[in-house]
Structure 1
Amino acid sequence: MDIKDEKKSAMEIVNVPPLVSTYRQAMETFDPRNSANLPVNLGKLKTMMDGLRQEHFGFDQTLNDPATWTRKHKAPCTYIEVYQDPQVNMSIFVLRPGFKMPLHDHPHMHGLLKVISGAVQIRSFSEYPLTQNIDPAKFELLAKEEAKRLASGSPKKRTLFAEISKNTVCAENSQTCLLTPTLSNYHEIQALDTPAAFFDILSPPYDTLIEEIGPRRCSYYTVSEEIATNVVQLTEDEMPDCFYCDQAPYLGPTLH
């Protein structure tokens, strides 16, 4: 490579939009061939997401206007798909002032959440007692048992003990929140007194097929009992009727 080519290559790196760099790191992080380097790559991805701001997404400023959310028939949540393939989902959720995204799980997923507009209260739970890792084979067995239970028409809801792992306000200048298959895998998110938007990355995405089981499903929960100061019992519940979304187009840079 001659000097001219080196300068061109350096200029291309400098001019890569932050969201494109984040996308590329996400693809590397969650590539199954790189599973041995997941902790290191996950740290790099989190650092990149820490620096993201709403202008990096071409964010529609009308969604920051409280008047938008008082329009007749406006859904309480707007969903913007940034990117999805069988391995990674990247999206933006925008919540109307005061709206709470109900408590839900992320079955055997890693996830990162970065607030890009407004502020949200996030309360996260980890199954108690906490185990640092879940063997994929054990997860598959549990998922098959759950699929069998659902197929039988059993009305019994799943219950579990969970420890509150996070209960904090996150704003545009806050660091990225992280969840793993065991840590903070259940959470609820509430906008404060203004509209709020957050960007998140999940891997694998919801609806990804679990072999011999079917689509990866999202379950909703309620806190059914306070067990101790920081430990609760969660009970599976139906998706609340108040939780529904409309959609808006992604207006940011092309990801490649």
Structure 2
Amino acid sequence: MNSSRYFRLPNLFSSNSTNMFFQRLFAMANYSFSSSSPSSKTSIQAVYDICKNNLTPSTSPPPQLIHELSSILDTIGPSDVGLRDEHQEDDRGHGFSTPNTLNRLDRWAQPITYIDLNESQSFTMCMFCFPTSSVIPLHDHPGMTVLSKVLYGSLHVKGYDWVEPPLIKDSKEIARAPVRLAKLAVDKVLSTPCSTSVLYPKTGGNLHCFTAITSCAVLDILTPPYEEYSGRKCTYYRDYPYSSFGSGDELIDGKEDEYAWLEEIDAPDDLYMRQGIYAGPPIRM
């Protein structure tokens, strides 16, 4: 694998230089569209304008703003952002077993394509294009609100929220990090057509993982964006069944299968993405 063609997820949110390069490249290639009249505003332009005019780097968006954004995102499909609907049988990935994939030959997983639409101090607007069976492992969004719209295909989402007050236990193995109790918030498959999903700083599955059941694409708005020096670092986790560390005394309500212990881990070595170029309607910034 040519390492120069691939990069890991944390780099996408910690370095603006690559994102700015592709933004400039896109702007140069589409300068001739800058004279479009307001009456011809596209859906993605409307989303960008609302984000630019209302989102801030220090506060969470109010409910009415989330509702407004979700209403527009609900109408957006692949063609609105320059993508083709690739919801079809493919065998480019591996790792998610379904009746149709059990007999397939295991292959090197293809990279997830990351497409940057905007990166600012107030929000990130981007897309992820997943080959079948590709995975973004369990990770968090500290202090962030995230709106996600599946554009085509089917995506399995599993998300947790921390149990408060924090309940932390030392691992039984000396070299392992402590584990913290979390409660399952989301465990479902999103298949188009579907409405926009929203996670919040402390609810809605702020720690989540994605598994592509089919090839699929997701349009994301993250606000405020990842920014390590502001305490919004992307951290990865491994989840363990409740019975691995719990005695039952910690359960506040529900059943054991609704809880898990999460251990902080390093960014996975096998998580690779490639940068894609936005090919949809121009976005006036």
Determine if contact 1:29/1:38 at 8 Å carries over to the other structure: no
Q: Distance in 2 between matches of 1:88 and 1:197?
A: 19
Offset at residue 160 of structure 1 (A): 1.7
Determine if contact 2:78/2:85 at 8 Å carries over to the other structure: no
Residue number in structure 1 paired with 2:27: none
Q: Distance in 2 between matches of 1:158 and 1:182?
A: 20
Match of 2:181 among 141, 146, 161: 161
Q: Distance in 2 between matches of 1:66 and 1:250?
A: 24
**Structure number with higher helix proportion:** 1
Determine if contact 1:160/1:235 at 8 Å carries over to the other structure: yes
1:185 aligns with 2:240: no
Whichever residue aligns with residue 243 of structure 1, its letter is L
1:82-161 → structure 2 map (5 Å cutoff): 82-129=117-164, 157=177, 159-161=179-181
Q: Distance in 1 between matches of 2:73 and 2:85?
A: 23
SS in 2 for 1:164: strand
Determine if contact 2:157/2:209 at 8 Å carries over to the other structure: yes
Unpaired runs of at least 5, structure 1: 1-10, 132-154
Whichever residue aligns with residue 282 of structure 2, its letter is T
Residue number in structure 1 paired with 2:43: 18
Q: CA RMSD in A?
A: 2.8
Q: Distance in 1 between matches of 2:196 and 2:264?
A: 27
Match of 2:66 among 33, 39, 42: 42
Whichever residue aligns with residue 240 of structure 1, its letter is P
Write out per-residue CA displacement over residues 193-245 of structure 1, whole angstroms, 9 at most, x where no aligned residue.
Answer: x21110100011113631xxxx6321100112325120111111122222110
SS in 1 for 2:62: helix
1:215-254 → structure 2 map (5 Å cutoff): 216-227=232-243, 228-254=256-282
Question: Normalization by structure 2: what TM-score?
Answer: 0.67
Unpaired runs of at least 5, structure 2: 1-35, 94-106, 167-174, 244-255
Residue number in structure 2 paired with 1:31: 56
Aligned pair in 2 of structure 1 residues 156, 74: CA closer, same or farther (>3 Å)? closer
Question: Normalization by structure 1: what TM-score?
Answer: 0.74
